[in-house]
Structure 1
Amino acid sequence: MYCIFIFCFICSLVNGFLFDGSQSLSTTCSSIQVDVVFLLDSSGSEGSVNFQKQLHFVKSFVEKFEIGPSNMQVSVVSFSTIVMENFDLKKYQSKYELLAAIDTIPYLSGTTHTDEAITFAVKHSFSAVSGDRTQAPNVIIVLTDGQSSSPSQTMHAAYQAHSAGITTFAIGIRTSDYIGELKYIASDPQNVFQASNFNALDQLQNVLSTKFCEAIVTTTPVVYTTIPTDFSYSSNCRLRPADVVFLLDSSTGEGAHYFQEELNFVKTFVNKFDIGPSDMQISVITYSTRVVENFNFQRYQTKQELLLAIENISYISGSTNTHEALSFALQHSFTQQAGDRAKAPNVIIVLTDGQSTSPTMTKQVAATAQQKGIEIFAVGTGDNLSFQELLSIASGRQYVSRVANLDALYRLQSELTTTFCEGKA
């Protein structure tokens, strides 16, 4: 599923960085087709003032290139305790719109989960769903002011990016003690840059642009492979309001690690939609022996607040009382008191790794929910569940997915989004 490409480095530093002896290197690549994702550290150590300086740095870089469907496309992802996709590659197709959008990116605060940001870019930013183009080189530019919360996980995520053929640049601010981490984030030692402080960031613009152009300008066509285009979804989907309840299996069979993967799945889904009172609303319920409503529809009305709330959901452990979770959603989630909207479609997405403790009750409650017009997706993982039970939960066979493990949920993500956005839900 990863984007893979072969680079041929043919640029040389001659006479003030000349290409073919006559044409400026920056001019050569200023109109080139390339997909660029900026990963911006928005942790507590940054502070809002310094985060604004990072945004200024991104705008200055963007100013040097032509923006559009045949030129450079840019996505900006912020990370701290959560990962927040501010906009994907296809969102803004003019420089004016792009620069204006960068100005509106909010500061988050929190810890420094660099690994999750890189993983998000690899698995989701460079996909047809997000606007990635098969013939365009893929580039990640990471800006950070400190060591990540999990250096080993960051190293693994960076390895995945490099293996996918993504050219990665690492820019550190006040990171002299963490140069080693920058080196393994970058796909080449020459792609590592350091600024002594945030005010010195702009001094890196010229050298970054030069190295950037050296990496992407080639003389021969290069073939790229991306996530299949049948995973795409309608751009109008973001405009379709819906009230969506996630029911997450938090039983003993799930385990804390795989429960975290469920949360990552939900966060990725959320990042693909506009969140708010006129757009999509999300509620998350966890279940095992007991049912826990982590938050209802009206609790979080911005994507930033919602992602942070999902990050803080706790693992429970216990048995698999799927029927009680469905019953709670039916009786309490889709009510005016919980924020349900009369004209918005109601959707339940069930994630589970095992057969419920009462399959008969689960089937009955699911049938009642469907009779009330609630669309139900059933996603099963592992080998310890019945496909027939998944069918009894879901609104139809096309709403059932069974994957070997939770890693495969990422491949399912776009299929689920497509089904949802085609108006079937």
Structure 2
Amino acid sequence: MADIVFIVDQSGSMQAKHFQLVRQFIYRIVDGLDVSSKKVRVGIVLYSDAAKAVVYLNSIKEKDDILQFIKMLPYQEGSTKTGAALNFTREYMFSKSTGSRKSQGVQQLAVLITNSKSQDDVSIASVALRRTGVTVYAVGVKDADPNELRQIASHPARKYVFKADSLAKLEKSLQKLLCYNIIRAVFAVPVRSFNIKTGNH
């Protein structure tokens, strides 16, 4: 069981042809998960100048329906406001009213995908998101800033940061890691250390 929100860069730097690859990447990741209202729930945030929820965790309950929706995700140019997107996700996506099962002890995961450096600050926003108990994966392709990805992601970076020239190289490794972490949390007693200063866990 897990609640997973994909935070997807759709700014001008992404370009339409690359955004099509992002669609395929998310499609294949979701297709490999056991998606249903009682198991893995999926939400999607798209962002450029501003962030918007296109799928809440409780919007689409059937796996086939969400896969069809992913195929039609719209591309929109604009600037890259990753910090604002992280804040939006924290405020509106991981809440009980939009389908989060945090109060039931279900894992809360965010997967941010970007290909460029943010035009606003990400440090405060990423710490605030992690402090709510969300595990954050940062996926960077092409011109994404490795240092910024490390700021965004949960710690240690080697476990939660992915950087490559192509999404194809990331797909299987990220899918395996997501599945592994979900399974481990379900069948093991979770023991977490929490650093109030940095919000790492």
TM-score of the pair, normalised by structure 1? 0.42
Q: Letter of the aligned partner of 2:147 in structure 1? A: G
Q: Report the secondary structure of 1:138's partner residue.
A: strand
Partner of 2:15: 47
Deviation at 1:220, TM superposition (A): 4.3
Distance (whole Å) between structure 2 residues aligned to residue 84 and residue 106 of structure 1: 12
Greater relative CO (CA pairs within 8 A, separation 6+): 2
Aligned residues between the structures: 185
Q: Answer yes or no: is the 8 Å Cα contact 1:39–1:142 preserved in 2.
A: yes
Q: Letter of the aligned partner of 1:145 in structure 2? A: N
Counting aligned pairs with the same residue, the percent is 27
Q: Report the secondary structure of 1:85's partner residue.
A: strand
Asked whether 1:185 is paired with 2:152, we answer: yes
Unaligned runs of 5+ in 1: 1-32, 223-425
Equivalences for residues 7-18 of structure 1 within 5 A? none
Q: Answer yes or no: is the 8 Å Cα contact 1:175–1:194 preserved in 2.
A: no
Distance (whole Å) between structure 1 residues aligned to residue 9 and residue 27 of structure 2: 16
Asked whether 1:209 is paired with 2:175, we answer: yes
Tell me which of 48, 59, 73 is aligned to 1:105. 73
Equivalences for residues 279-358 of structure 1 within 5 A? none
Distance (whole Å) between structure 1 residues aligned to residue 132 and residue 50 of structure 2: 23
Deviation at 1:203, TM superposition (A): 1.8
Unaligned runs of 5+ in 2: 191-201
Q: Answer yes or no: is the 8 Å Cα contact 2:33–2:179 preserved in 1.
A: no
Partner of 2:136: 168
Asked whether 1:36 is paired with 2:4, we answer: yes
Per-residue CA distance 1:119-140 (angstroms, 9 max, x = gap): 1111110001111113311000
Partner of 2:118: 148
Q: Report the secondary structure of 2:171's partner residue.
A: helix
Deviation at 1:221, TM superposition (A): 5.7
Asked whether 1:59 is paired with 2:27, we answer: yes
Deviation at 1:213, TM superposition (A): 3.2
Q: Report the secondary structure of 2:122's partner residue.
A: helix
Per-residue CA distance 1:349-376 (angstroms, 9 max, x = gap): xxxxxxxxxxxxxxxxxxxxxxxxxxxx
Partner of 2:194: none
Deviation at 1:175, TM superposition (A): 3.0
Distance (whole Å) between structure 2 residues aligned to residue 213 and residue 187 of structure 1: 17
Q: Answer yes or no: is the 8 Å Cα contact 1:34–1:73 preserved in 2.
A: yes
Partner of 1:236: none
Q: Letter of the aligned partner of 1:82 in structure 2? A: A
Q: Letter of the aligned partner of 2:96 in structure 1? A: A
Per-residue CA distance 1:9-39 (angstroms, 9 max, x = gap): xxxxxxxxxxxxxxxxxxxxxxxx1000001
Q: Answer yes or no: is the 8 Å Cα contact 1:76–1:87 preserved in 2.
A: yes
Partner of 1:85: 53
Distance (whole Å) between structure 2 residues aligned to residue 202 and residue 67 of structure 1: 22
Per-residue CA distance 1:290-342 (angstroms, 9 max, x = gap): xxxxxxxxxxxxxxxxxxxxxxxxxxxxxxxxxxxxxxxxxxxxxxxxxxxxx
Q: Answer yes or no: is the 8 Å Cα contact 2:83–2:122 preserved in 1.
A: yes
Deviation at 1:67, TM superposition (A): 1.0
Q: Answer yes or no: is the 8 Å Cα contact 1:41–1:79 preserved in 2.
A: yes
Partner of 1:380: none
Q: Report the secondary structure of 1:106's partner residue.
A: coil
Distance (whole Å) between structure 1 residues aligned to residue 150 and residue 38 of structure 2: 32
Q: Letter of the aligned partner of 2:160 in structure 1? A: N
